[in-house]
Amino acid sequence: MERPRIAGSVAVGWFLLTLAMIVYATRLALVVAPTDALQGNVFRIFFYHVPHSMLSLVWPYVNLVASAGFLFWRRRDPLKALTADAVAVASAEVTLVYASICLATGMLWGRVEWGIWWTWDARLTSMLVLWLLYVSYLILRQLSSVGQTQTLAAVLSIFAGIDVPIVYMSIRWWRTQHPAPVFMSGDPDAGVDKSYYPAWEANILAWAMWGLLLIAMRYALERRRQQREQDAALKAIEDSLEFTR
């Protein structure tokens, strides 16, 4: 009884800290950071768009590692495999949330700056493919009834893991309409003014903390569902044994 109580206190503390961090980061983005000389205030969309885009390329690797763990343990240690599967489904849903926000906020910025909602350039298309892979991952988990759902989903997550470096490198490999890389570009002339750093760093940290909180919450929910399914299966066996006596 003691462990769930400690976990609950940690979760509430983390939630409050994250919420305070998001409010602080949003204030830096909207109030403190100077207006961009070229784009004006619409540039402030990037303070939410970029962290969500970066993190939507991080969470798939949580999903990939958890899926690999599931494939490794599914015959050796089914209890560990169930834990890994709960992490996999949690990180897949959070990836979809972040990737959806990345695409939607990018389109809202593109309509203002480019005059169009969408263009089939390498970055946007590869990101859309990643989004579709996770939509299909979650539909597969929801609708498949063959008893191999978790294994099929784990294999699908490998394809998503392959798409992630393509999304990341697309603006380096190809000339795209999407802006060139700003962070870790290798170009000494690229980058943003130092006055923007606090807003970037705070928003990346805040949305990373939030993503970790969501994964932990969704993991706890999945573990509860697994526990309930196991309880129901045990009860059905007990009932059938009583029926045959």
Taking the C-alpha atoms of residue 57 and residue 36, their distance in angstroms, rounded to an integer, is: 26
Please select the residue that binds another protein; options are 179, 227, 236, 237, rule is CB under 8 A: 227
Q: Which residue has the tokens 């909602």?
A: 117
- CB-hemisphere CA count at 13 Å for 21? 20
Taking the C-alpha atoms of residue 28 and residue 196, their distance in angstroms, rounded to an integer, is: 9
Strand partners, 40: 36
Cβ–Cβ under 8 Å, residues 30 and 44: yes
How many Å is the maximal CA-CA distance in the chain? 82
Please select the residue that binds another protein; options are 7, 12, 16, 112, rule is CB under 8 A: 112
For residue 141, state whether it binds another protein (rule: CB under 8 A): no
For residue 100, state whether it binds another protein (rule: CB under 8 A): yes
For residue 221, state whether it binds another protein (rule: CB under 8 A): yes
Query: Nearest approach, Cβ of 145 to another protein (angstroms)?
Result: 21
- CB-hemisphere CA count at 13 Å for 197? 4
For residue 178, state whether it binds another protein (rule: CB under 8 A): no
Please select the residue that binds another protein; options are 13, 17, 77, 111, rule is CB under 8 A: 111
Contacts with another protein, residue ranges (CB under 8 A): 26, 30-31, 40-42, 44-45, 48-49, 52, 93, 97, 100-101, 104-105, 108-109, 111-112, 210, 213-214, 217-218, 220-221, 224-225, 227-228, 231-232, 235
